[in-house]
Amino acid sequence: MSSRDKILAAVRSNKPGQRDLPEINIPVSYEGLTEKYTQVATAIGARVYSVESIAEIKSKLNEFFDPAKRWVASLAEFSDVAETNLANVDPHSLEDVELSIIEAVLAVAENGASWVPEQNVPQRIVPFICQHLVIIVPANKIVPTLHQAYEITAGAEYGYGAFIAGPSKTADIEQSLVLGAHGPRSLTIFILS
């Protein structure tokens, strides 16, 4: 008998009697989502700005980051300041990217996370390999909790997707928080209305 069949047979003979799945029925409040999201995202190490146009984002980016370094973006609107045509490059060639600019499908107020599926990044590695990350969150796409986030994205097709909450971090050395473990050293979020 293969290990597969052995394991399945052992599960069948040892499993307990049927227990039904519960409903997920968690109370939710839709009040002050943008404030809550901003507060939580800031607390976990991101900086958050509410803006009204892509032009406003660009001017802030020029202020915060060095335009002489390599910038990449997933949105065609940024093709004047960043490389946007990366679909076919070897991911290793992105090792020197300074800044990645991407857009989230939605953001979650309770934990400051943004949902970024594969379709929203030119390569899976883009939000990770850069020194600094920028995520643009559409102002009307902030949901209260993860329950709503999974409801809205139910049935969406993706090969890969991630909730990203804050810059990469570690506290492995004596619980001292250090930003910039392996991924981006900073995360800047623009809530775009």
Partner 1 sequence: MNVETKDHSGLADIFNQNESRVDWHDETLWFIRSKRDKAAQGLPEWELLRETASQIKHNVLSNLDEYLEQFESNAKANGITVHWAANAKEHNEIVHSILKKHNINRMMKSKSMLTEECHLNDYLKKNGVEVIDTDLGERIVQLADEPPSHIVLPCIHKKKEEIGDLFHVHLGTAAGEADPQVLTEAARQHLRETFVTRKLSLTGVNFAVAETGEFVVCTNEGNADMASHLADVHIACMGIEKLIPQRKHLSVFLRLLTRSATGQPITTYSSHFKKPRAGQEMHIVLVDNGRTVQLGREDFRNSLKCIRCGACMNTCPVYRRSGGHSYHNAIAGPIGSILAPNLDMKEYADLPFASTLCGSCSNVCPVKIDIHDQLYKWRQVLVKEGHVSPVKAMGMRAMALTFSMPKFFSFAGKAGRTVMKYFPSVVNNKLNPWYKEREMPAPPKQSFREWYAKERAGK
Q: Which of residues 35-64 bind partner 1 (CB under 8 A)?
A: 40, 44
Query: Closest distance between partner 1 and the C-beta of residue 92, in Å?
Result: 6
Q: Build a one-symbol-per-residue string for 73-112: x at contacts with partner 1 by CB under 8 A, - elsewhere.
A: ------------------xx--x--------------xxx
Give SS3 for 119.
Answer: helix
Rounded CA-CA distance 27/87 in Å is 41
Instruction: Reduce the DSSP state of residue 92 to 3 states and report it.
Output: helix
**Residue 50 or residue 145: which is nearer to partner 1 going by CB?**
145
Nearest 5 degrees, angle CA 96-CA 158-CA 33? Answer: 85
Q: Which of 3, 63, 68, 76 binds partner 1 (CB under 8 A)?
A: 3
Binding-residue total with partner 1 (CB under 8 A): 69
Alpha carbon distance 180, 175 (integer Å): 15
Map the footprint of partner 1 across residues 115-154, applying CB under 8 A. 123-125, 128-129, 145-147, 149-151, 154
Q: Which of 61, 133, 62, 131 is nearest to 96 (CA)?
A: 131
- For residue 38, the Cα-to-chain-centroid distance in whole angstroms is 15
HSE-up of residue 191 (Cα within 13 Å, Cβ side)? 23
Using rule CB under 8 A, residue 26 touches partner 1: yes
CB of 77 to partner 1, least distance (A): 25
Which parts of this chain interact with partner 1 (CB under 8 A)?
2-4, 6-8, 10-22, 24-27, 40, 44, 91-92, 95, 110-113, 123-125, 128-129, 145-147, 149-151, 154, 158-176, 178, 180-184
